[in-house]
Chain A
Amino acid sequence: MPHLEVLLFASYADAFGASAVTVAVPEIATVDDVVGALRALPGGGALPARPLVAVDRRYAPGPIPVRAGQEIALIPPVAGG
């Protein structure tokens, strides 16, 4: 089962107590699989129904496939400006 690193920021980093976590996902995994694995971790209950995810620094919807080596990040509601 492949393991993927997920970058965490701001309130999500606080919720998980880390700036990155590693999750186990199916061999052929999607963004939704990553979010599902994150929910199972301590702190995962803080995630909203549909958290934003970025893959290689672009927002990626749930069905998008992901693989090891890509830069995956969980994006809290943005508040720039």
Chain B
Amino acid sequence: MIRTAVVDAAIDSAALVREVTSRATGATTLFLGTVRDVNEGRPVTGIEYSAYTAMASDELARIAHEASEQFDGIRLVVEHRVGTLGLTDVSVAIAVAHARRAPALDASRFVIEELKRRVPIWKREHYADGEWQWVDPTVTTQTVPTP
């Protein structure tokens, strides 16, 4: 089974684990992406996620399909949240179950890496000093090394 979704409410990660787990699965992995309090040295207070929802949904489904072809027998659920998230909120959850651990672990890694590379979702970080900016992973911000 495979299910993917772009959601605008809190992700229930325990429900995702229950959804993929079956009597035939001996290994379940859960990857959670959460909002952390600092990025590139700047204190972060929250992140606003937005998406090209129609394409993001399609692209997530394509990635999940590719994962199921590459890792035969996985049970996979992926949810990505959009909207305004606070620190520690879950932005993305990937639950994978398989009879064996290796495909479950590898599929989880595959899905998050492809998601970050391809799915049209953006984040606007809000900082403690009141400023904000769109995060652009193609630009590396140079940080001044501390002595």
Contacts and interface: CB of A to CB of B under 8 A. Distances in A.
Contacts of A78: 116-122, 137
Contacts of A59: 118
Interface string A1-42: 000000101110010000000000000000000000000000
Interface string B93-135: 0000000000000000000100111111111100000000011
A77 B122 CA distance: 8
A54 B115 contact: no
B28 interface: no
A61 interface: no
Interface string B134-147: 11111100000000
- The range of chain A's interface size is 10 to 19
Given A9-B122, A11-B136, A57-B58, A80 B50 contact: no
B44 interface: no
B50 A10 contact: yes
Given A7-B52, A9-B120, A10-B122, A79 B112 contact: no
Interface string A67-78: 000010101111
B35 to A, nearest CB: 11
A63 interface: no
B124 A10 contact: yes
Contact of B116 (A9, A75, A76, A81): A81
B80 interface: yes
Contacts of B56: 80
A18 to B, nearest CB: 15
29 contacts: A9-B52, A10-B134, A11-B136, A48-B138, A54-B55, A57-B55, A57-B59, A58-B55, A58-B58, A71-B54, A75-B120, A77-B136, A77-B138, A78-B116, A78-B117, A78-B122, A79-B116, A79-B135, A80-B49, A80-B56, A80-B80, A80-B92, A80-B119, A80-B121, A80-B122, A80-B123, A81-B91, A81-B92, A81-B112
Given A78-B117, A79-B137, A81-B80, 5 more contacts: A9-B50, A14-B134, A73-B120, A79-B135, A80-B121
